[in-house]
């Protein structure tokens, strides 16, 4: 049986990363083999590209091309082989982040991103996407308590408000695979919402 590609999305500070290990444990307890990975990154080449994208200044088209180049390598070298072996692949961010950050955040052209998506993914889409949704102001307060920001985390609240709108648009265009998780509240409250969604979508 082919594995499932399960992606996790949200603006910086939404708290998605802290739940991925718990989802991995939940799947393992349900008898699944699991691979946990992230974007940009997940292979040596893609991790090198991640360093550039997160820390070097560049124009929005260069940024979009680099995240798609990283994604192509990640899909070919790691994601597709793991799915073919029957593993569930948990990926911390995927293409919805490109539409949200490079598209809505940087103001980059949607149709061009769709063209790149088609070339790079050749029809591959996540089976389920958990979008941790949080107002940009609340995410900014959470980020203020965290470590030194990268190029994206250093953006202002207006940028993240646009990114959130970008996720909203993608969730409407891809309603079947999107599960919206209200990310307000404590970690336990968010986990309670996520675990009932897991029962519904992945059991
Ligand atoms: P993030 O996933 O938040 O990792 P960490 O928790 O280690 O900070 O960081 C990745 C950053 O990359 C995030 O700010 C969003 C950005 N990003 C894009 O701009 N486009 C993309 O296509 C992807 C996958 C990520």
Atom index in ligand 1 nearest the CA of residue 153 equals: 14
> Ligand 1 pocket, 93 CB below 6 A?
yes
Put simply, whether the predicted model's pTM sits higher than 0.85 gets the answer yes
Q: In angstroms, how far is CA 194 from the centroid of its own chain? A: 16
Cis peptide before 40 (omega within 30 of 0): yes
The domain made up of 5-201 has a fold known as Rossmann fold (3.40.50)
Q: What is the mean pLDDT of residues 30-50?
A: 98
The model's pLDDT over 174-192, given as tens digits with 9 standing for 90+, comes to 999 999 999 999 999 999 9
Pocket test for ligand 1, best of 9, 12, 121, 156 (most atoms within 8 A of CB): 12
Whether 109 has a pLDDT exceeding 90, the answer reads: no
Q: How far apart are CA 165 and CA 15, in angstroms?
A: 18
């Amino acid at each position: 049986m082919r594995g499932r590609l399960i992606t996790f999305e949200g603006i910086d500070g939404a708290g998605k990363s802290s739940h991925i290990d718990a989802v991995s444990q939940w799947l393992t307890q349900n008898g699944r083999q699991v691979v946990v990975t992230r974007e940009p990154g997940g292979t040596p080449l893609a991790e090198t590209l991640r360093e550039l994208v997160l820390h070097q200044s560049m124009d929005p088209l260069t940024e979009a091309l680099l995240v798609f180049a990283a994604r192509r390598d990640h899909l070919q070298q790691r994601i597709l082989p793991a799915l073919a072996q029957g593993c569930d692949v948990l990926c911390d961010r995927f293409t919805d982040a490109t539409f949200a950050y490079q598209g809505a955040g940087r103001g980059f052209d949607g149709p061009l991103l769709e063209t790149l998506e088609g070339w790079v993914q050749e029809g591959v889409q996540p089976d389920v996407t958990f979008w941790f949704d949080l107002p940009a102001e609340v995410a900014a307060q959470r980020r203020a308590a965290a470590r030194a920001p990268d190029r994206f985390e250093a953006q202002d609240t207006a940028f993240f408000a646009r990114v959130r709108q970008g996720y909203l648009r993608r969730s409407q265009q891809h309603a079947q695979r999107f599960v919206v998780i209200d990310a307000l509240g404590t970690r336990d409250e968010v986990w309670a919402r996520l675990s009932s969604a897991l029962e519904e979508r992945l059991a």
